[in-house]
Structure 1
Amino acid sequence: MQNVYDVLKERGFIEQVTHEEELRELLGKEKVVFYIGFDPTADSLHVGHLLPMMAMAHMQRAGHIPIALLGGGTAMVGDPSGRTDMRKMLTLEQIQHNAERFKKQFQRLIDFSDNKAYMLNNADWLLNLNYVSFLREIGRHFSVNRMLTAECYKQRLERGLTFLEFNYMLMQSYDFLVLYQKYNCKLQIGGNDQWSNIISGVDLIRRVEDGSAYGLTIALLTTSEGVKMGKTQAGALWLDPEKVSPYDFYQYWRNVDDRDVEKCLKLLTFLPMDEVRRLSSLEGAEINKAKEVLAFEVTKLIHGEEEAIKAQNAAKALFQNGADMSSVPQTHITREQLGDGMDLLELLMLTGLTSSKSEGRRLISQGGIYVANSRIDDVDLKITAKDFDDDNSLLIRKGKKIYHLVKLS
């Protein structure tokens, strides 16, 4: 079997690594326990979490043992890494609620049966720490001068770094130490913004246990222009189907830039690299076939094959009369809401197709809004009951590919 380190490297996951040759050799000869941390600061994971989740899945498929560490403790402090402000404090109840939602989403990609993987919460050891004991046993191993050279702190110094946030590096390093001691966890994987914290954990294990541990960071999911993927007009591209429908999720990947297709196929699917290269080599209109494969594969991973098929069929239905459109995003309005007529600009905001009336005016003036397949030129257009078809449905399109069905009840 191919060494998983080589798999991750070929597919473009690996950015930085400590002791590269040692780690590669270790992954090739023994079953390695590793962990990735996820702070439950929202009630759903989003596309930014997909890369670490995929890295975990590749590692598990190669026989290694993942620990998905939910940061119930660290979420109460906030991680300054890569941020210019301090995260909002959450209550224990909010954190626990969010952690439970995470579990369901992890299980799409990770097998937790029979100790093949673990899901832990660092609140179990962080919240019961004796502060004085922690300072004596852990704090003495950290140099303030060295900590202040870390990028995650340097960028915050001018704006103001709280002592609360300053503790984050100690807490994350302590997580690694606890997992090393209790689970023989030898590897931490994280994003590039976690590099300083990861190498501090590696160093702490060496100082306290005289043990060998390793760190690896993975790439951020960005477009060819260097912009983070997963940003939509409605906000983040969440993995929770209640926040982003499987259809909208599918459409996001179906509409990625041609230049990003190869990267997404490598990082977000398990397709063999030969197939990735074949699909990525398609040119012109043919590249749309690769995008359809990408959209289907990613949607299948996150929402299951049934939802992926429904999303795929719904996308095709928009070009076929009489086909099933039940999976197209819908908004229901009452006749009372509609009244004698509703401004199209208001309806566009209600459906989430635009975020403001000014955006709606701009799209209409640019010829980007269609109602019942007719391009709209009138920014003052009112939608009335007569505009709906016999099924009390009205199809609105934004641009070439974004559709929304309004149902009148």
Structure 2
Amino acid sequence: MAAPALGRPCGRAAGLRGGLRRAPLPAPLPAPLPAPLPAPRPLHERAPRSRSSAGLLAAQCERGLFQEVFPGQGAEEQLAALLEPGRPPVTAYCGFDPTADSLHVGHLPAVAALLHFQRAGHNVVAVVGGATARLGDPSGRLRAREPLAAERVRAHARALRLCLWRLFENHRRLLWAGGPGLGRAEVLDNARWLGRRPLLGFLCGAGGRLRMGTLLSRQGCRERLRSAEGMSLAEFVYPALQAYDFLHLHRRRGCRVQLGGADQMGNIMSGYELVTKMTGTDVFGITVPLITSTTGDKLGKTAGNAVWLNRDKTSPFELYQFFVRQQDNIVEKYLKLFTFLPLEEIAHIMEMHAKEPEKWGPQKRLAAEVTKLVHGTEGLESAKRCTRALYYSSVEALEAMSDQELQELFKQAPSAELVLEPGMSVLDLCRKANAIQDGPSGYQKITDGGVSVNGIRVTNPETVLILGQHILKNGVSLLRVGKKNYYIIKWLQL
């Protein structure tokens, strides 16, 4: 999904231009379209304030985490006053549709936004879209999502709830200084209320307050209506159901703020319209940036470039390495977006990096902070252990690795279980593991230095295997043939 340009009016009511390719649109009604909703205001246009007086809104604007606030004119001042320290806590929420069984790095800005609200003493709700995922969010899509079976959505929703709870808990235990200031956090599933809402009751209530002109005027909707595939009714009502989430949470939790990615402004506007019309209360929306690859594609499942937050899909080592590999021109931005380090500390890290760029200090700190949030201290230690074993040939790290870490680090590596026989040589090991060919070519491979055991190159094929050197204390040998061909050997009956 592509992010709308900052400052572009997302809610301007306008008639449909052109028409569907399959059939002409009906003539417009003589009644005028409803008045346009106010346009969102880019937060970077705000007047600068001193850091000491900056509240939550200004502080996150300075980090680049909060991008736009809705409604536009006057909303920023109202919201800033609502979030001032000393005022009663506000409740903010963000939704996550379970189209997969894990969150990914592209979701982290939204999670970080919730956590910053919580750190400021406000209450936060993460909503898993167990109901809305059945329809599929049409935002920024050229064609409809593949429908998901109900049981699959339920399984995905359970996995996302666990993932979100893990993030909240890791933040509280490892990244929060302590004290009574942390707000309350909840993880809910909108299937609890949307799944029980009768269709006719929904249409007569919330459906009667949402205007067709506003929904039809949105660019994404217009583009889909003009496309050959068109837009299904299920996709069209998706914004209405997400708007009802906001209304439900406002009534039950006093929610005043909805957070979402930059591609969610249209859905946020629908929620604003419904809540204000049905309750008369001022509510607000805030967007956070989309994370893109070096080619400009949004990171996520659809683009096929997702870096997942569940260990069974992306290991702590892989997550750690993703952030360690970030280039200098992006690492400062990511430190501000993904970590809770004070801006002064980030500035100092970048100053030190300018003096000693070869140490990759900002990248390592970024990787450590994010891995700790996602996988906890144990996950961070696992990532560092795997890094030392793979890139620094650390025998100590290799000995300390669990079977799970070995499988994560060497996903494609064949494994074999062998019994150590008296006088067994490196050549015997390679042949039993099917790592080299029989005959002179395999023998030559070893003598040419193309084989290493536990990171130590072996050039004599007749070298006898030694416990503690070729066979580690954990009963494992890591055999490498060539540059990238690894074999995991597990020794039995040692």
TM-score, normalised to structure 2's length? 0.67
1:197 match: 267
Shift of 1:404: 8.0
2:134 aligned residue (76, 96, 108): 76
The answer to whether residue 418 in structure 2 is matched with residue 333 in structure 1 is: no
2:199 match: 131
The answer to whether residue 311 in structure 2 is matched with residue 251 in structure 1 is: no
1:319 aligned residue (392, 397, 405): 392
Distance 1:316 1:289 in 2: 16
The answer to whether residue 77 in structure 2 is matched with residue 9 in structure 1 is: no
SS in 2 for 1:36: strand
Distance 1:88 1:189 in 2: 26
Distance 1:132 1:339 in 2: 69
2:487 aligned residue (393, 397, 406): 406
The residue type paired with residue 13 of structure 1 is L
1:121 aligned residue (148, 166, 189): 189
Distance 2:297 2:482 in 1: 26
2:11 match: none
- Contact 1:330–1:404, Cα closer than 8 Å, also in 2: no
Residues 243-392 of structure 1: pairs in structure 2 closer than 5 A: 243-281=313-351, 282-283=353-354, 285-286=357-358, 288-317=360-389, 318-325=391-398, 326=401, 327=405, 329-331=409-411, 332-334=413-415, 341=434, 392=477
User: Any gaps of 5 or more consecutive residues in structure 1?
Assistant: 345-369, 374-385
Distance 1:170 1:343, change over 3 A: farther
Shift of 1:277: 1.2
2:145 aligned residue (57, 69, 87): 87
- Contact 1:177–1:205, Cα closer than 8 Å, also in 2: yes
SS in 1 for 2:308: coil
Q: Which string of whole-angstrom CA distances, capped at 9 and with x for unpartnered residues, describes residues 277-303 of structure 1?
A: 122232363461211111111111111
Distance 1:173 1:71, change over 3 A: same
The residue type paired with residue 410 of structure 2 is Q
Shift of 1:252: 0.9
Distance 2:55 2:394 in 1: 50
SS in 1 for 2:360: helix
Distance 2:246 2:338 in 1: 27
Larger Cα-atom Rg: 2
1:181 match: 251
- Contact 2:297–2:303, Cα closer than 8 Å, also in 1: no
1:38 match: 96
The residue type paired with residue 180 of structure 1 is H
The residue type paired with residue 393 of structure 1 is L
Distance 1:396 1:231 in 2: 34
- Contact 1:43–1:99, Cα closer than 8 Å, also in 2: yes
SS in 1 for 2:337: helix
Shift of 1:272: 1.2
Distance 1:397 1:46, change over 3 A: farther
- Contact 1:12–1:266, Cα closer than 8 Å, also in 2: yes
Distance 2:68 2:141 in 1: 20
User: Any gaps of 5 or more consecutive residues in structure 2?
Assistant: 1-51, 173-181, 418-430, 438-448, 453-462
Distance 1:334 1:312 in 2: 23
1:394 match: 479
The answer to whether residue 48 in structure 2 is matched with residue 20 in structure 1 is: no
Shift of 1:343: 9.7
SS in 2 for 1:119: strand
The residue type paired with residue 256 of structure 2 is K
Residues 100-111 of structure 1: pairs in structure 2 closer than 5 A: 100-110=158-168
Shift of 1:265: 0.6
- Contact 2:124–2:183, Cα closer than 8 Å, also in 1: no
Percent of aligned positions with the same letter in both sequences? 35
- Contact 2:136–2:238, Cα closer than 8 Å, also in 1: yes
Q: Which moved more, 1:123-132 or 1:244-253?
A: 123-132
Kindly tell me the number of residue pairs found equivalent between the two proteins: 367
SS in 2 for 1:109: helix
Distance 1:190 1:21, change over 3 A: same
TM-score, normalised to structure 1's length? 0.80
SS in 2 for 1:208: helix
Distance 2:289 2:88 in 1: 25
Distance 1:118 1:408, change over 3 A: same
Q: Which moved more, 1:319-328 or 1:70-79?
A: 319-328
Distance 1:397 1:39 in 2: 44
2:113 match: 55
- Contact 1:224–1:260, Cα closer than 8 Å, also in 2: no
2:284 match: 214
